[in-house]
Amino acid sequence: MGHTLYVRDIPDKLHDFLKEKAKSEGKSVSTFVRDELEKRRKIQTREVFLMSLKLGGAISGTLDTVALIRENREGR
């Protein structure tokens, strides 16, 4: 079941940008933002997977994936 997320104090420029992007894709702002959040989740998951390949194996529960992602980003 879905949940509701409220975000307060969105600057006018950001809100206008989100409305325009949503409109250009034929979506509501809510649907557009939800889709963008889902894309971001997939990117994070992909980064963790790619980092595990660089390390030569599967990710264990003790690996600090956040630190690995940060290190990878800083190395770019």
Rounded average pLDDT per 10-residue block, the chain, 76 residues: 89 97 97 93 80 68 71 77
Q: To the nearest 10°, the Cα dihedral for 21, 1, 43, 8? A: 50
Q: What is the pLDDT of residue 7?
A: 92
Q: What is the pLDDT of residue 70?
A: 81
Q: What is the pLDDT of residue 22?
A: 97
Q: What is the pLDDT of residue 53?
A: 76
pTM of this prediction exceeds 0.85: no
Beta strands in 20-74 (DSSP E): none
Q: What is the pLDDT of residue 60?
A: 57
Q: What is the pLDDT of residue 9?
A: 96
